[in-house]
Amino acid sequence: MGEQGAWSISLNPVVLCPRIKNNILFFYLNYILLAALIFFISMLATFLNPKTIILSIGLAAAWFVVLKATAEDKKFGPITITRKNATFLMIILSGVAAFFIMKDVFFITLGSGSGISLIHAIFRDGAKERIEETTSEPQQLEDTEPQQDLEHDFA
């Protein structure tokens, strides 16, 4: 009588494990978009903090100084610093600085994004959306209608 609901609660591991696997495989793009949305909103909220704005401006200034200073190769004793080496070092330092400046954003995104996605994957009964494993052999469909000559169909 009617359709089966899209949501159900099951604590049986035999039902739960394939359900989570199928839902993750089917809804993975939705989960990624959810995490990106949470990340974007968290970034906006974090940049309202004056400390974050000042540190971001300092990081941008450091990039400016490094790029201007390495317009030509610099030699410090036996060590030659090229623009490529300086840029690589600044990428690493920027990543570490960004993590510490916005570590709350990363943890909020990781925690809430994966939590919401896991709750959805557990309770969503995607029986209709199951991804069937395909065989390597292509299946031939039987032709039930006779072939028509396309040249005569235009008349």
Q: What is the DSSP string of 5-66?
A: PSB-----HHHHHHHHHHHHHHHHHHHHHHHHHHHHHHHHHHTTSHHHHHHHHHHHHHHHHH
* Range name among 66-70, 85-89, 126-130 with the lowest pLDDT average: 126-130
Mean pLDDT of the chain: 80
Indicate the pLDDT class of residue 64, thresholds 50, 70 and 90. very high
Identify the residue with better confidence: 4 or 93.
Answer: 93
- CA distance to 52, 144, 151, per residue, from 148 (Å): 69, 12, 9
Residue 97 lies inside a defined structural domain of this protein = yes
Contacts 24+ apart (CB under 8 A), 10-19: 16/122, 19/121, 19/122, 19/124, 19/125, 19/126
Domain count, the chain: 1
Residue 75 lies inside a defined structural domain of this protein = yes
pLDDT at 148 over 80: no
Domain that holds residue 25: 13-123
* pTM, 2 dp: 0.57
User: pLDDT over 70 for what percent of the chain?
Assistant: 78
Residue 25 lies inside a defined structural domain of this protein = yes
Indicate the pLDDT class of residue 33, thresholds 50, 70 and 90. very high
pLDDT at 155 over 50: no
Can you give the pLDDT at residue 128? 53
Single-letter amino acid code for the residue at 129: E
Residue 81 lies inside a defined structural domain of this protein = yes
Residue 49 lies inside a defined structural domain of this protein = yes
Contact 56, 98 (CB under 8 A): no
Identify the residue with better confidence: 100 or 153.
Answer: 100
Radius of gyration for the alpha carbons in the chain, expressed in angstroms and rounded: 28
Residue 89 lies inside a defined structural domain of this protein = yes
Can you give the pLDDT at residue 141? 47
Of all helices (H) and strands (E), which one includes residue 134?
Answer: none
